[in-house]
Structure 1
Amino acid sequence: MGEPLNIGIIGCGAIVAQYLKTLPHLPSVTLRAVADLDLARAEAVAAEQEGVRALTVDELLADPEVDTVLNLTIPAAHAEIALRAIAAGKNVYGEKPLAMTTDEARTVLDAAEKAGVRVGCAPDTVLGTGIQTARHAIDTGMIGRPISASATMVTPGHERWHPNPDFYYVPGGGPLLDMGPYYVSALVTLLGPVSSVIGAASHTRAERTIGSGPREGETVPVTIDTHVTGVLVHESGALSTLIMSFDAVQTRSSNIEIHGELASLTVPDPNYFEGEVSICALGNREVGWDAVPSSAGYIDAGRGYGLADMALASPGEEHRANGTLAFHVLDVMESLLRSAEQGASVPVRSTAARPRPVPLTSLTELLEDATS
């Protein structure tokens, strides 16, 4: 198995709470320190975590007890912090997207390869039982040859609940780069890499009103498209239709549907690790949908399982939530926005192997594997 990881978190914003629910229970992962530009925020987090120190960003990057940085900064800082961590000889696992642009992301991957360190990136939700059970159904031939997929995420906007939503409405934000990584990562996991895209985009409002927190009632300017739709052409020939919106209210359809020659699948929300997978077979249309028992994936997973997966990967073995996959997902999204601007199909220049499937595995089994 791989080496244990000693984690230092940079960025103590809203998302850190979800990681802190999981990290103390993960095998081969130990949280050592936290840092934030606002040291008081780091101190507040450290005060609730036994044995965890609050440091400045510079102190954490120089700390010899930290060998892996969990980068939870805003998207605009993802590449900068990743490069600084790599320069300090540390592995990096970041929140999505990998960087603001593929040019930035390429510098991160190149620097990591030269330094001999690992790069990982969210979302690791695709490692849970929801997406992995759907993948197992596809890989074992339950739907026959995959033909198409649809993936839909609509919400009226994060400003309704987020106290500081500004970064969602500037370049690097928007529904595609914010929520798209969950859906595109799931589609690549299920159907393989994407070779080309065609897209269209729009926005309905020039500003948004913050709905909660100390800035409630304050308006935020919108400088990017807030509704993006398109078609992804997978290397396999399957076609995925994608709708990502901060303008619409709600959808009653399944978040993801996969259609094959022999059956159709409903796939749970890729923003979560679990959820029911349902199948409707060709000869069973009148009866309807049947639940597919959980057959693959990390059981009861939470944010941070991608770090545990990285820690458990053997030397020379690629961990599943890896930088190459995250780069391809970013490339797909960037290409979709470029297609929307140009009004033409755009090739996706990168590719990525589907990560190894995750067998149905519990935390207890992970702990046993880590100590055996």
Structure 2
Amino acid sequence: MGQPLNTPLNIGIVGCGNIIVQYLDTLPSLDALRLVAVADLDPARAQAVADGLPGVRALGVQELIADPGVELVLNLTIPAAHAEVALAAIAAGKQVYGEKPLAATTEEARAVLAAAAAAGVTVGSAPDTVLGTGTQTARRAIDDGLIGRPISATATMVTPGHERWHPNPDFYYVPGGGPLLDMGPYYVSALVTLLGPVKSVIGAASHTRNSRVIGSGPRAGESVPVSTDTHVTGVLVHESGVLSTLVMSFDAVATQAANIEVHGETGSLVVPDPNQFSGAVKIRTLGSEDWKVLPISAGYAQSARGIGLQDLALTPDGGQPRASGTLAFHALDIMESVLRSARSGRAVDVGSRCGRPDPVPLTQPAAAVG
């Protein structure tokens, strides 16, 4: 086994939009990482971020990618730009970690992974929420046989739409957006982490409105056209034989369903929101009348967005980070396959495979990792 990358790893962020705040809240507490530069197509926005961070430089996008002091590029651009930025960073010899999805399409994502393999650099990708105590405690319960042989799972995400809170929601409602490609990575990555890779899918999809009205910010009241499906349902057939059912919607109001449930021969699990790092894992076993909360037994405790970067930095040379590009590619492939199935009305085989990521032992606090 090789050694981890040299740490602390110097990080440069490309993209200073809404999501950067969550990373900036976490990065100072992660001792394997050091933020050194930020960039954005809007130089003023990058400068505003840098002004609040001593020692962090505001650079142009290409300047940051070429900078020898930047060892890993954290790609927080919109999905349509993920591949372009990642490929430029890889060409410059940088490690890459990006927001989800890995790229706008599997074709683009495949090119990113191929370029990284040729250059000998590592690619990681959000979501890293699956590394927290919520999903990891549920995984340990499954691996320890607490519910017997897994049979099925459900994953449900229902919201009336991001335009109600996001000031620039346009990209959610064009091809490459929609509830499945936006929120699905959390749920699909969690299902693969819990139950293993998926070999085929069946999907159906619809949308109820041809436009959306922005509810906040300077564009409030402006209408945004909708050109992608906004309610998607899919059945995922895992290699293990487990059947997982997805419901991802920007059309409905709310649900009381658990975010994820996993059912086995001798018990059922309620898994917390995969968009969060923690939460109660509940179990009910055959013959019992009540649900009980399982003690936290695995995962990066007290973690938040960015822990996947630390995990990558501490992955031995030649190894796969848990929030890997391979997992992200498989998740994207699954989601694209669901959408192809919805269009064709036929089951679709998923061409890619990935192993289940290594489990995360209970690690507390996150900053002490390594």
- In the superposition, the TM-score normalised over structure 1's length comes to 0.97
2:49 corresponds to 1:45: yes
Say which of 60, 65, 68 aligns to 1:64.
68
User: Please, which runs of 5 or more residues in structure 2 have no aligned partner?
Assistant: none
Is structure 2 residue 75 aligned with structure 1 residue 76? no
% identical equivalent positions: 71
Matched to 2:286, the amino acid is L
Which of residues 222, 244, 252 is equivalent to 2:248? 244
Following the alignment from structure 1 to structure 2, what is the Cα–Cα distance between the partners of residues 112 and 212?
A: 39
Letter in 2 for 1:315: D
Equivalences for residues 157-306 of structure 1 within 5 A: 157-284=161-288, 286=289, 288-306=290-308
Match of 1:126 among 125, 130, 149: 130
- The question of whether the paired residues in 2 share the 8 Å contact of 1:146 and 1:260 is answered with yes
Distance 1:301 1:50 in 2: 23
Q: Look up the match of 1:144.
A: 148
SS at match of 1:316: coil
Deviation at 1:363? 2.8
Counterparts of 1:93 and 1:147, CA distance in 2: 33
Quote the offset at 1:227 in angstroms. Answer: 0.2
Q: Distance in 2 between matches of 1:140 and 1:50?
A: 46
Q: 3-state DSSP class of the match of 1:147?
A: strand
Q: Does 1:342 align with 2:344?
A: yes
Query: Which whole-Å CA distance do the structure 2 matches of 1:67 and 1:96 have between them?
Result: 20
Q: Which runs of 4+ in 1 moved over 2 A?
A: none
Greater shift in the superposed pair: 129-138 or 3-12? 3-12
Does the alignment pair 1:106 with 2:97?
no
Letter in structure 2 aligned against 1:208:
R
- 1-side partners of 2:102 and 2:62: how far apart? 21
Q: Structure 1 CA distance, aligned partners of 2:65 and 2:203?
A: 40
Query: How far, CA to CA, are the matches of 1:188 and 1:218 in structure 2?
Result: 38
The SS at the match of 1:283 is coil
Query: How much is the aligned-residue C-alpha RMSD, in angstroms?
Result: 0.8
Counterpart of 2:154, as a letter, is S
2:15 maps to which of 11, 22, 29: 11
Distance 1:313 1:109 in 2: 17
Task: Give the aligned partner of residue 351 of structure 1.
Answer: 353
Per-residue deviation, 1:2 = 1.0
Letter in 1 for 2:349: P
Tell me the residue number matched to 2:327.
325
CA distance in 1, matches of 2:37, 2:276: 27
Mapped to 2, the partners of 1:291 and 1:163 lie a distance apart of: 38
Q: Secondary structure at the match of 1:252?
A: coil
1:23-68 deviation digits (Å, cap 9, x = unpaired): 0110210000000000111011111111100001011011110010
Post-superposition offset of 1:222: 0.1
Q: Distance in 1 between matches of 2:199 and 2:151?
A: 15
SS where residue 287 of structure 2 aligns? helix
State the alpha-carbon separation in 2 of the partners of residues 51 and 154 from structure 1: 41
Give 1:131 shift: 0.1
Name the structure 2 match of 1:360.
Answer: 362
Name the residue aligned to 1:89: 93
2:275 counterpart SS class: coil
Whether the aligned pair in 2 keeps the contact of 1:26 and 1:363 (CA below 8 Å) is no
Give the C-alpha shift of residue 221 in structure 1. 0.1
1:117 equivalent in alignment to 2:124:
no
C-alpha distance in 2, partners of 1:212/1:241? 33
Deviations 1:189-221 (A, max 9, x none): 000000000000000000000000000000000
Shift of 1:253: 1.2
d(CA) in 1 for partners of 2:312, 2:225: 39
Aligned residues: 366
- Structure 1 residue 296: Cα displacement: 0.1
Normalization by structure 2: what TM-score?
A: 0.98
